[in-house]
Amino acid sequence: MNVLEKISLYFQYSYVQNAFIVGVLVALCSALLGVTLVLKRFSFIGDGLSHVAFGGIAIASVVGLSNNMLLVLPITVISAVLLLRAGQNAKIKGDAAIAMFSVGALACGYLLMNLFSTSANLSGDVCSTLFGSTSILTLSAADVWLCIGLSAVVLLVFVLFYNKIFSVTFDENFAAATGTRTGAYNLLIALLIAAVIVLAMNLVGSLLISALVIFPALSAMRLFKSFKAVTLCSACLSVVCAGVGLLTALLADTPVGSTIVAVDIAVFFVCWIIGAVGRRG
């Protein structure tokens, strides 16, 4: 059986279809926001939030919630707001506070799972939460619809506020001085990030989310020089990488999350070389 036949066979399974729908949407949303995140030096928020989301999942599984999104989403959103505040407050050393917050959430999450979990395969559970090894292939219909709904909201908000997001990212002081409510837009960006993190938990697991957010943006920045082009390119690269990574993972039976990230890294190096050659030539 050649590869194409194998692929078309896989695509008859609904779990593969679901995985692709979610994978593409998550990749798209995370890459769009990734550009702003990288340029605003907000990457730390993404990283911190992903750990918080892990803590949220731990609590949800301990409490025995059937749909853990209902708990994880609000926890992550609240943390996003708190982290943004901490990051802007020079007095309480933002970066240290964030490190404390995120490592604390990670540790407590693992502790909770250890103490209270009824699962027979605890380390497997933890591993899949951190690295997303199989959860993408076991999505329920509700998960998929939640993901579609959340992505639609993220995309819509991003498109509607694209120009404002650019302005606040490029020069926040100017934006504030000329009457843009930068505080509100920073909050909006943090909320979008929270939504994307929760979405991406399914695809790559909490430890690898940052990669999904950062790599496509950095790759696109090697190739293009306008904000619009970088944003579009980042989105395209991310979707392609997610698709290729997902397929590779299915065919080669490797972990989905890390395969996608590996493809992202490979693409980054290709873009880096193209950028370096293009600059010289």
Partner 1 sequence: MALLTCDHVALGYDGREIVSDLSFTVNTGDYLCIVGENGSGKTTLMKALLGLHRPLRGRIETGDGLRQQQIGYLPQQTDVQRDFPATVKEIVLSGCLGRKGFHPFYTASEKQLAHSAMHMLGICGLAGRCYRELSGGQQQRVLLARALCATQKLLLLDEPVAGLDPKATAEMYELVHTLNKEKRLTVIMISHDLAAALPYASHVLHIGEQLFFGSVDDYRTCFTKGGHLA
- Smallest CA-to-CA distance from 247 within 2, 1, 6 is with 6
By CB under 8 A, tell whether 12 contacts partner 1: no
**CA-to-CA dists, residue 8 to 17, 141, 250, angstroms:** 11, 21, 12
How many Å apart are CA 186 and CA 236, to the nearest integer? 25
Number of residues that bind partner 1 (CB under 8 A): 27
DSSP helix/strand/coil, 169: helix
Among 117, 134, 180, 254, the residue binding partner 1 under the rule CB under 8 A is 180
By CB under 8 A, tell whether 272 contacts partner 1: no
Q: How far is the CB of 213 from partner 1 (least distance, A)?
A: 17
How many Å apart are CA 203 and CA 134, to the nearest integer? 9
Q: How far is the CB of 188 from partner 1 (least distance, A)?
A: 12
Q: Which is nearer to partner 1, 78 or 229 (CB)?
A: 229
Residues 82-141 that bind partner 1 (CB under 8 A): none
Among 105, 221, 263, 267, the residue binding partner 1 under the rule CB under 8 A is 221
Q: In this structure, are residues 269 and 218 in contact, taking their beta carbons and an 8 Å threshold? A: no
By CB under 8 A, tell whether 281 contacts partner 1: no
Residues 159-178 that bind partner 1 (CB under 8 A): 159-164, 166-167, 170-171, 173-178
Q: Which is nearer to partner 1, 6 or 181 (CB)?
A: 181
How many Å apart are CA 252 and CA 257, to the nearest integer? 13
Residue 15: CB atoms within 10 Å: 14
**CA-to-CA dists, residue 278 to 128, 217, 275, 281, angstroms:** 40, 18, 5, 5
Residues 31-50 that bind partner 1 (CB under 8 A): 39
Which residue is it, tokens 């070389």? 273
How many Å apart are CA 37 and CA 206, to the nearest integer? 17
Q: Which is nearer to partner 1, 86 or 221 (CB)?
A: 221
Among 10, 15, 227, 272, the residue binding partner 1 under the rule CB under 8 A is 227
Q: Which is nearer to partner 1, 218 or 266 (CB)?
A: 218
Residues in contact with partner 1 by the rule CB under 8 A: 39, 159-164, 166-167, 170-171, 173-180, 221, 224-230
